[in-house]
Amino acid sequence: MDAAEFRKRGKEMVDYIADYLEKIDKRQVFPDVEPGYLRPLIPDCAPQDPESFEDVFKDIEKIIMPGVTHWHSPYFFAYFPAASSFPALLADMLCGGIGCVGFSWAASPACTELETVMLDWLGKMINLPDEFLAGKDGQGGGVIQGSASEATLISLLAARTKTVRRVQSEKPELTEADIMGRLVAYASDQAHSSVERAALIGGVKIKNVPSDDTFSVCGSALKKVLDEDKASGLIPFFFCATLGTTPCCSFDKLLELGPICNKENIWMHIDAAYAGSAFICPEFRHLLNGVEFADSFNFNPHKWLLVNFDCSAMWVKKRSDLTGAFKLEPLYLQHHHQESGLVTDYRHWQIPLGRRFRSLKLWFVLRMYGVTGLQEHIRKHVRLSHQFEHLVLQDERFEICAEVVLGLVCFRLKGSNELNKALLKSIDEAKKIHLVPCYLREKFVLRFAICSRTVESTHIKFAWQHISQLTVQLLEKEGKKVTFQ
């Protein structure tokens, strides 16, 4: 395919994408396929000779679309949102066209420098303390990671290196293996599984801190486990606080936790993967109070800020903590600007070496929506979640299971877990809407997350009517079961 054909096919693809997104509400949100559906539909091996674009293109509807879960359907209420917007799609096209791999400043200066400045823009939008910004001569700064999991891992590894060095200087008789064997990381019992995974990868222990009855970790809970562990000779070194937990969007109490971490020489990382986008609205910014105690902070514009996946924004107060954990410098990656102090080589900030020009997405989205446009998007989602909450509350058969703060509603039928599993099963089978469950303590709970950019009040009403109707059928059936038992 040459440039001339790309001009033609690229434009057809633009139209296909516009059509797909404009009419996505007409597609069934969750596919009908069974595992293994795709393999029989395509050949066993790659073709020897080139096929035409037409042949490939017509297979999109035939082979791919029947197996797609439509994350941008207004009937998609599962997980958390995956952001999507037209400005971000345009920026990603440009990113692909430029096709640079920006592992160092020299590998493409624009790629590195735009990222640093965009993370400053974004940091200012959520009113991060100045220490987290790069500015012209700051010690902190931001970086785009691929996912919150990587941000958690990188911060845990930086904390590990820092602590091993500190303990070794205090107690030179200890070997690195001795110290590693005594390090402990902590996170809420509501924290994302990626935190436990980061500790597994880093080869250190991790312990859950019990959350309170609002599913938040408070200072006294952390203090209790720290005291026990220190008494038994362990070395606490890392705490991952969550703002907006995955099960129910609860918030750890930063203002209590932060001072404890600071006093105990514990790195505090904040994972606000979903909730972080909301902090651009002044009315939600208070949820971030206490960030001033943290060493690192992360949220995912690719969840809720209209920047297509992947774009996970991470900031640190001391960039040297990250780079100090990893820096390895073979000659073919050195360049003569390196020691100027102005230069950032982002490969020292992340797990992979290569990186795409992802800051273009932020630049396009922030400029073409403006802060006010993005605030409107957040506020619409929060409004819709409260609309759904009110519908649930008006129905005596149901209960709300956790405070609705942002765009997630946790709800269930009053009654057994089995009953709620049966309700979810009937929702799954009908495939009119898509949502996923969670456990809160021992309770099986349905999560209703406002996701799509184009979801409106009518879709919320439809979803609730649909759930109500399935509930009636379910309770009738259950009633019959009881009657005939």
Cα maximum dimension of the chain: 83
Residue choice 283, 354, 383, 472 for contact with a copy of itself (CB under 8 A): 354
210 binds a copy of itself (CB under 8 A): no
Within 10 angstroms of residue 402's Cβ, the number of other Cβ atoms is 21
Judged by CB under 8 A, the stretch of 235-243, 257-265, 355-363, 387-395 that binds a copy of itself is 355-363
Q: Is 430 in the site for a copy of itself (CB under 8 A)?
A: no
The mark string for 238-277 relative to a copy of itself (x by CB under 8 A, - otherwise) is --------xx------------------------------
Beta strands in 189-255 (DSSP E): 205-209, 235-242
Residues 299-338 that bind a copy of itself (CB under 8 A): 302, 308-310, 325-326, 328-333, 336-337
- Closer Cβ to a copy of itself, 72 or 318, answer by number: 72
Least Å distance between CB 381 and a copy of itself? 17
Question: Based on CB atoms, which residue is closest to a copy of itself, 242 or 254?
Answer: 242
Per CB under 8 A, contacts with a copy of itself among 36-95 are: 36-39, 42, 44-53, 55-56, 60, 63-72, 79, 82, 84-90, 92-94
Which of these ranges, 202-210, 234-242, 285-293, 398-406, lies near a copy of itself under the rule CB under 8 A?
202-210
Give the N- to C-terminal CA distance of the chain in Å, as an integer.
Answer: 68
Place of tokens 């979903």: 274
Beta strands in 69-224 (DSSP E): 141-145, 183-188, 205-209
283 lies in the site for a copy of itself, by CB under 8 A:
no
Among 144, 148, 206, 401, binds a copy of itself (CB under 8 A): 148
- Closest CB to a copy of itself among 115 and 389? 115
Told to check if 462 binds a copy of itself by CB under 8 A, we report: no
Q: Rank residues 369 and 388 by Cβ distance to a copy of itself and give the closer one.
A: 369
Strand, helix or coil for residue 1 = coil
CA 380 to chain centre: 20
Strand 296-299 relative to strand 312-316, pairing? antiparallel
Judged by CB under 8 A, the residue of 3, 170, 233, 458 near a copy of itself is 3
Question: From CA 427, how far away is CA 462, in angstroms rounded?
Answer: 13
Min dist CB 369 to a copy of itself, Å, is: 6
Instruction: Compare residues 48 and 485 and give the one whose CB is closer to a copy of itself.
Output: 48
Q: Which residue, chain included where needed, has tokens 């035939």?
A: 62
b/e burial code for range 339-370 (CB count within 10 A of at least 16 → b): eeeebbbbbbbbeeeebbbbbbbbbbbbeebe
**Contacts with a copy of itself in 359-418 (CB under 8 A)?**
360, 363-364, 366-373
**Which C-beta is closer to a copy of itself: that of 11 or that of 383?**
11
| Closer to a copy of itself by Cβ: residue 175 or 473 | 175
- Which residues make Cβ contacts (< 8 Å) with residue 307, sequence separation at least 6? 83, 85, 88, 301, 361, 362, 365
In which order are the strands placed within the sheet that holds 205-209? 141-145, 312-316, 296-299, 267-271, 235-242, 183-188, 205-209
- C-alpha 406: how far from chain center: 15
Tell me how far, at minimum, the Cβ of 315 lies from a copy of itself, in Å: 15
Residue 455 makes contact with a copy of itself by CB under 8 A: no
Taking a C-beta distance cutoff of 8 angstroms, is the pair 71, 451 a contact?
yes
